[in-house]
């Protein structure tokens, strides 16, 4: 099975990028592309690098049939006749930066209410008591599911989706994934049923009203659309916020800088996203033989675009492994590139900015365990911790 060191995969990424820019992984028979220009080009080249077989990872064949589903937008190339219409459905105004900025007061309210629960405590389990409930509340408000979202199962579902991989895991893990998946689908179905009877001003109601070529979406398609929004707008921010706290804890100079100049927080978030991609890898398949750097990748081969390695390519960035404010242009590939760029990009950036604006208005110092002492998500497709005990000092 393809593995990288969980707490610090970046030396391994660098070795692949510098020594094997086109790397054949065996026995999985997969290929890795890792240099910035190659990854950027491949992510836009749907003629040679298709997303249409992405479902092999999103719904692997070892899941039972009742848990197989079609994430129709992210598994279609832009050249597909209906891709633009499908994309428009989930790329709703609620996920656009301008509309999300109107939710800043709500985000601030949620962040402050959570901070209030531990501001008198020196130690806090940061993922449990801040990152997850904060992201959960924001996602529920954005989608209009405030009163109905099952936060406990959503968290379990998030963790289950992070375990998806080509290789079938142990039976008890498969059972866990399928159980949380089916519970989540029942949740989606109950919301769809409710909104058909009592429409509201939210994404579910808009999806019910939507049409493709004059036909309404089926419940299965609406569930898939909600799942896409969930995967793009829920999972990543939890890990970005956790990675951000770790970065501030290990770099007192950086912490001091953003404490003195909170206007730097948006730049802090952008550099955080470049350095620590919460989803380090994107999957494609070749449609024909592709030759790069003198090596030919055969047709129909799975290709992993190593976004996290591309984001640290010294051909693109000076001192790529260092944290530097105001890198220009902000062209990191964390959310992909081109027509299939992650729909959760704006949501992730804004809610992470608000989270740290609120946290740093209270916190004066942070200490955490070292990265290799923490428990990390056991997947090459995710970079984030499952738990993050933190010692916090507060402003007087």
Q: Which residues contact residue 136 at a Cβ distance below 8 angstroms, ignoring those fewer than 6 apart? A: 149, 151, 154, 155, 234
Of 211, 289, 268, 292, which Cα lies nearest the Cα of 39?
292
pLDDT band at 389 (very low <50, low <70, confident <90, very high): very high
Contact by Cβ (8 Å): 257, 28: no
Average pLDDT for 226-255:
88
pLDDT band at 33 (very low <50, low <70, confident <90, very high): very high
Contact by Cβ (8 Å): 284, 303: yes
pLDDT band at 347 (very low <50, low <70, confident <90, very high): confident
Of 140, 151, 9, 97, which Cα lies nearest the Cα of 335?
97
Of 365, 369, 364, which Cα lies nearest the Cα of 386?
369
Among all chains, which residue has been given the structure tokens 């579910």? 204
In this structure, are strands 363-368 and 389-394 parallel, antiparallel, or unpaired?
antiparallel
Distance CA 71, CA 274 (A): 27
Q: Residues 362, 366, 368, 372: is their CA dihedral positive or negative?
A: positive
Cβ-based burial of 354 (10 A; exposed 0-12, middle 13-18, buried ≥19): buried
Q: What is the pLDDT of residues 64-113, one digit of tens each?
A: 777 766 555 544 555 555 545 555 555 554 455 556 778 899 999 999 99
Cβ-based burial of 129 (10 A; exposed 0-12, middle 13-18, buried ≥19): middle
In the Cβ-directed half-sphere of 382, how many Cα atoms lie within 13 Å? 24
Instruction: From residue 115, give the alpha-carbon distance in Å to each of 110, 125, 361.
Output: 9, 12, 10
Please tell me which residue, 302 or 180, carries the higher pLDDT value.
302
Contact by Cβ (8 Å): 334, 384: no
pLDDT band at 358 (very low <50, low <70, confident <90, very high): very high
Q: Inter-axis angle of helices 345-360 and 236-250, to 10 degrees?
A: 40
Average pLDDT for 196-223:
79
Greatest alpha-carbon pair distance for the chain in Å reads: 63
Is residue 340 pLDDT above 70, yes or no? no
Mean pLDDT of the chain: 84
Contact by Cβ (8 Å): 377, 6: yes
Domains and CATH numbers, the chain: 10-394 (1.10.630.10)
């Amino acid at each position: 099975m393809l593995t990288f060191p969980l707490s610090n995969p970046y030396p391994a990424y660098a070795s692949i990028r510098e020594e094997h820019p086109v790397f054949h992984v065996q026995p999985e028979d997969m290929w890795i592309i890792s240099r910035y220009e190659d990854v950027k080009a491949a992510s836009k080249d749907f003629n040679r690098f298709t997303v249409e077989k992405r479902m092999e990872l999103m719904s692997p064949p070892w899941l039972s049939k009742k848990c197989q589903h079609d994430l129709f937008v992210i598994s279609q190339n832009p050249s597909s006749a209906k891709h633009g219409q499908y994309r428009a459905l989930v790329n709703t105004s609620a996920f656009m930066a301008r509309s999300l900025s109107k939710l800043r007061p709500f985000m601030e309210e949620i962040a402050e209410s959570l901070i209030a629960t531990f501001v008198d405590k020196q130690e806090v389990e940061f993922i449990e008591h801040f990152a997850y409930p904060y992201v959960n509340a924001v996602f529920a408000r954005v989608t209009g599911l405030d009163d109905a979202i099952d936060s406990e199962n959503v968290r379990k579902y998030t963790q289950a989706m992070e375990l998806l991989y080509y290789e079938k895991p142990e039976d008890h893990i498969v059972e866990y994934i399928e159980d949380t998946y089916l519970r989540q689908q029942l949740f989606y179905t109950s919301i769809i049923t409710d909104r058909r009877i009592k429409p509201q001003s939210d994404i579910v109601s808009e999806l019910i009203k939507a049409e493709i070529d004059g036909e309404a979406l089926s419940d299965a398609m609406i569930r898939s659309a909600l799942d896409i929004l969930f995967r793009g707008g829920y999972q990543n921010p939890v890990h970005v916020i956790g990675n951000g706290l770790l970065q501030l804890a290990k770099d007192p100079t950086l912490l001091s800088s953003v404490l003195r100049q909170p206007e730097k927080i948006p730049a802090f978030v952008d550099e955080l996203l470049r350095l620590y991609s919460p989803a380090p890898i994107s999957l494609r398949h070749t449609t024909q033989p592709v030759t790069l750097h003198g090596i030919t990748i055969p047709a129909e081969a799975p290709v992993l675009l190593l976004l996290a390695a591309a984001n640290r390519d010294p051909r693109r960035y000076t001192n790529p492994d260092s944290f530097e404010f105001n890198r220009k242009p902000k062209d990191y590939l964390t959310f992909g590139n081109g027509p299939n760029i992650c729909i959760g990009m704006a949501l992730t950036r804004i809610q992470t900015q608000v989270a740290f604006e609120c946290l740093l208005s209270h916190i004066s110092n942070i200490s955490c365990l070292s990265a290799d002492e923490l428990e990390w998500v056991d997947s090459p497709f995710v970079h984030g911790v499952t738990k993050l005990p933190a010692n916090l000092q507060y402003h007087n």
